[in-house]
Amino acid sequence: MTSPLKPRSDLPRMDAGSVLIFDLDNTLYPAACNLFAQVSTLIGHYVRDTLSLEPDEAYRVQKDYFHRYGTTLRGLMTEHEIDPADYLRKVHDIDVSVVAPAPDLAAALDDLPGRKL
C-alpha cells in the first residue's frame, strides 16, 4: 500500500546508509493525547520511590534535576547513579490506548527505506 503522504521534494534524498531517529514526544502522535502527562507523573513516582521522598519534595527534585541537567534522568544518573534502563522502563509504562490509529502515518513510515526497529 502506498501512502497518500508524499515526501517534500526540497529535502535531500536519503541514501542506503541513512538513519532516521524519531523523538516520539508529540512527533508521531497528537499532543492532545497527553502521553507526556502520564510520563511526567511516572517520573515523579520514580523520583519519590527511588529516593524515598514525600511527593512535594520529589516534585521539587524532579524539576530541579530537569533544569540543572537538562533531563531528570541525567540528574538521577549523576547524583544517584541510578540505572537508566530501569528508569526508562518504569516511566514509559503508559496507556497508549488514547492514541488513535493513523493508517496514513503507518503507510508513510512503511514506505521509508531501510530497516525498521
Q: How many domains does the chain have?
A: 1
Residue 106 maps to which CATH number? 1.10.150.450
* Within-domain flag for 27: no
Helices (H) and strands (E) in the chain, counts: 5, 0
Is 101 inside any structural domain? yes
57 or 100, higher pLDDT: 57
Considering only residues 10 and 47, tell me which one the structure prediction assigns the higher pLDDT: 47
Has residue 54 got a pLDDT over 60? yes
Model pLDDT for residues 57-74, shown as the tens digit of each residue: 999 999 999 999 999 999
- Residue 17 forms part of a structural domain: no
Say which residue, 24 or 91, is predicted with more confidence.
91
Residue 1 is assigned to a structural domain of this protein: no
What residues make up the domain containing 37? Answer: 32-111
Closest CA to 111 of 20, 11, 12: 20
